[in-house]
């Protein structure tokens, strides 16, 4: 028996392992695949601030593939270009990121068993279920269900983006019902192209149509389909049958419902799960206090968009354009921590943007 048994070797599991080891505990991490990070099933676009928050544990700079400086959002014929003053996001190799975290875990004394799927026999009374969106740990212990998922497909293609540092987002209830499509440049000649649709729609039909609209005819260099949870479980930790069971990452639904991004929240909640491995109550309280409001804000905005199947009607989109949302987001937008945008200074920032526009200066 070990002090902590972690099921799943993604970011949530590896960072949970690092923090449990830093608490001086013996930790076993079981991963069903034969290597950490593979097969890769993620775009790997993560906020710079989110990655910086992991610097005390890993040097993510080793696995950066591209820098993203702006985002173009196309919605019902309107284009919004969000151009923050500093680099907002980085495209990283997800396999590389997971491997760095696993290496740090092992350096701290953690043990990894590969090729081991765990569904019921656990090596500790303290269990962290970091086993992704279809969590066997959550099912075994009877956690409340995740209420909504999107089904995604993504491929890496030879593709020339107009701007190799701009990511493109497409909202349309007809083409991406319940979610969105994306083109993320890897470099001048290659991009990750993908989409998500709310279940029970099946993504393959929409994916083929999207590729055809973009003029992509060749086969993908790497392609996968996967689901993303869009809601947090109402309970993510419990004591049951003498076990302390904590869920972290996708297994808990700790994902931004706006974009499906879960690496930052999963890694951060993983760190908390490792710290509070024997106290379900403390874990539940601490992650909700740190990130609950942010995830709730993302969820509310997703619910708002999904009143129209993922894309608001043209009059609302034009209103958002007229109300200078583009400028507001460029200057004050945050990718992960939306609660930081609720600052009392926001109306002032907005007034300043409006005044500058009125005076005819775009800067
Ligand atoms: C198409 C797509 C694009 C995405 N793009 C982004 C993005 O750009 N940025 C971002 O932040 N997020 C993105 N995400 C979301 C992100 O991939 C997840 O939120 C993140 O991987 C969650 O980490 P995790 O550790 O909780 O789960 P996972 O990364 O899913 O890791 C779970 C691990 O557990 C293992 N496992 C599962 N069951 C068992 C078992 N019973 N026993 C042992 N091992 C088990 C799995 O093999 C896996 O390695 C994307 C997701 C998809 C589907």
User: Token digits for 105?
Assistant: 């875990």
Total number of domains in the chain: 1
Q: Whole-model pTM above 0.75?
A: yes
Place of tokens 């909640």: 269
- Whether 236 shows a pLDDT value over 80: the answer reads yes
Q: Which candidate, 235, 322, 249, places its Cα nearest to that of 280?
A: 235
322 assigned to some structural domain: no
Q: Which atom of ligand 1 is nearest to the CA of 184?
A: 8
220 assigned to some structural domain: no
In angstroms, the Cα distances linking 1 to 26, 41, 231 are 9, 32, 33
Q: How far apart are the first and last CA of the chain?
A: 61
What distance separates the 2 farthest-apart alpha carbons in the chain?
A: 69
Q: How confident is the model at residue 11 (pLDDT cuts 50, 70, 90)?
A: very high
214 assigned to some structural domain: no
246 assigned to some structural domain: yes
Give the mean pLDDT of 251-263: 97
Give the mean pLDDT of 179-199: 96
> From the CB of 33, is ligand 1 less than 6 Å away?
yes
- Whether 353 shows a pLDDT value over 70: the answer reads no
Q: How confident is the model at residue 352 (pLDDT cuts 50, 70, 90)?
A: confident
- Cis peptide bond N-terminal to 200, omega within 30: yes
Local structure of 172: helix, strand or coil:
coil
Q: How confident is the model at residue 227 (pLDDT cuts 50, 70, 90)?
A: very high
- By residue range, what is the domain housing residue 120? 4-65+91-146+233-305
Q: Which atom of ligand 1 is nearest to the CA of 227?
A: 53
**Cα–Cα distance for residue pair 224/181, rounded to 1 Å:** 15
263 assigned to some structural domain: yes
- The CATH code of the domain that includes 41 is 3.50.50.60
Q: Which candidate, 218, 214, 174, 166, places its Cα nearest to that of 194?
A: 214
26 assigned to some structural domain: yes
Q: How confident is the model at residue 29 (pLDDT cuts 50, 70, 90)?
A: very high
Pocket residue to mutate for ligand 1, from 37, 43, 122, 138, most atoms within 8 A of Cβ: 43
Place of tokens 């470099």: 187
Range in 6-15, 152-161, 283-292, 336-345 with the lowest mean pLDDT = 336-345
Local structure of 281: helix, strand or coil:
helix
The reported pLDDT for the residue numbered 326 is 74
Strands of the 78-82 sheet, one edge to the other: 78-82, 70-75, 166-171, 181-187, 190-198, 149-158, 222-229
DSSP state of 146: P
Query: pLDDT of 117-150, one tens digit each?
Result: 999 999 999 999 999 999 999 999 999 999 999 9
Query: pLDDT of 33-63, one tens digit each?
Result: 999 999 999 999 999 999 999 999 999 999 9
> From the CB of 336, is ligand 1 less than 6 Å away?
no
| DSSP states of 81-94 | EE--SS--EEEE-H
| Greater model confidence, 356 or 299 | 299
Place of tokens 């919004």: 80
Q: How confident is the model at residue 363 (pLDDT cuts 50, 70, 90)?
A: very low
Q: Which helix (H) or strand (E) holds 271?
A: helix 263-275
- Whether 18 shows a pLDDT value over 70: the answer reads yes
Give the mean pLDDT of 147-163: 95
**Cα–Cα distance for residue pair 108/62, rounded to 1 Å:** 20
Range in 15-19, 84-88, 104-108 with the lowest mean pLDDT = 84-88
- The contacts of residue 142 (CB under 8 Å, 6+ apart) are 240
Q: Which atom of ligand 1 is nearest to the CA of 254?
A: 19
The residue whose C-alpha atom lies closest to atom 33 belonging to ligand 1 is 8
193 assigned to some structural domain: no
Pocket residue to mutate for ligand 1, from 153, 246, 261, 295, most atoms within 8 A of Cβ: 261
Q: How far is the CA of 266 from the centre of ligand 1 (A)?
A: 9
Q: Which atom of ligand 1 is nearest to the CA of 194?
A: 1
- Whether 16 shows a pLDDT value over 60: the answer reads yes
Q: How far is the CA of 76 from the centre of ligand 1 (A)?
A: 31
Q: How confident is the model at residue 318 (pLDDT cuts 50, 70, 90)?
A: confident
The reported pLDDT for the residue numbered 362 is 46
137 assigned to some structural domain: yes
Q: Which atom of ligand 1 is nearest to the CA of 228?
A: 53
Q: Which atom of ligand 1 is nearest to the CA of 264?
A: 11
| Greater model confidence, 110 or 348 | 110
- Whether 357 shows a pLDDT value over 70: the answer reads no
- Whether 99 shows a pLDDT value over 80: the answer reads yes
Give the mean pLDDT of 314-342: 78
DSSP state of 283: H
- Whether 325 shows a pLDDT value over 90: the answer reads no
Q: Could you tell me if 93 and 42 are in contact, meaning their C-beta atoms sit under 8 angstroms apart?
A: no
- Indicate the average pLDDT of the chain: 93
Q: How far is the CA of 44 from the centre of ligand 1 (A)?
A: 11
Paired residues of 126 in beta bridges: 244
> From the CB of 132, is ligand 1 less than 6 Å away?
yes
Q: Which helix (H) or strand (E) holds 309?
A: none
Q: Could you tell me if 32 and 268 are in contact, meaning their C-beta atoms sit under 8 angstroms apart?
A: no
> From the CB of 310, is ligand 1 less than 6 Å away?
no
């Amino acid at each position: 028996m070990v002090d902590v048994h972690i099921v799943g070797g993604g970011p949530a599991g590896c960072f949970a392992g690092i923090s449990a080891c830093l608490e001086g505990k013996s930790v076993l991490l079981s991963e069903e695949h034969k290597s950490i990070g593979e097969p890769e099933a993620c775009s790997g676009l993560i906020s710079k601030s989110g990655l910086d928050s992991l610097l005390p544990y890993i040097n993510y700079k080793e696995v950066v593939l591209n820098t993203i400086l702006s985002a173009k959002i196309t919605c019902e014929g309107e284009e919004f270009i969000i151009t923050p003053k500093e680099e907002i996001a980085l495209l990283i190799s997800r396999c590389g990121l997971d491997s760095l975290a696993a290496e740090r875990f092992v350096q701290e004394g953690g043990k990894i068993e590969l090729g081991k799927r765990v569904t019921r026999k656990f090596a500790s009374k303290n269990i962290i279920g970091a086993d992704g969106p279809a969590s066997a740990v959550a099912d075994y212990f009877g956690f409340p269900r995740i209420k909504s998922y999107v089904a995604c497909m993504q491929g890496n293609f030879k593709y020339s983006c107009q701007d190799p540092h701009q990511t493109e987002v497409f909202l349309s209830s007809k083409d991406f019902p319940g979610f969105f499509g994306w083109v993320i440049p890897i470099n001048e000649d290659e991009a990750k192209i993908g989409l998500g649709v709310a279940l029970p729609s099946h993504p393959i039909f929409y994916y083929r149509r999207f590729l055809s609209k973009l003029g992509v005819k060749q086969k993908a260099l790497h392609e996968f389909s996967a689901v993303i949870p869009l809601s947090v479980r109402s309970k993510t930790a419990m004591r049951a049958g003498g076990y302390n069971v904590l869920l972290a990452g996708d297994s808990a639904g700790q994902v931004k419902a706006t974009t499906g991004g879960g690496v930052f929240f999963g890694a951060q909640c993983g760190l908390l799960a490792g710290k509070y491995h024997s106290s379900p109550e403390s874990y539940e309280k601490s992650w909700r206090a740190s990130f609950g409001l942010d995830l709730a804000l993302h969820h509310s905005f997703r619910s708002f968009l999904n009143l129209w199947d993922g894309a608001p009607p043209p009059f609302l989109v034009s209103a958002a354009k007229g109300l200078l949302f583009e400028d507001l987001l460029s200057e004050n937008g945050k990718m992960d921590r939306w609660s930081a945008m609720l600052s009392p200074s926001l109306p002032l920032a907005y007034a300043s943007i409006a005044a500058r526009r009125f005076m005819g200066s775009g800067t």
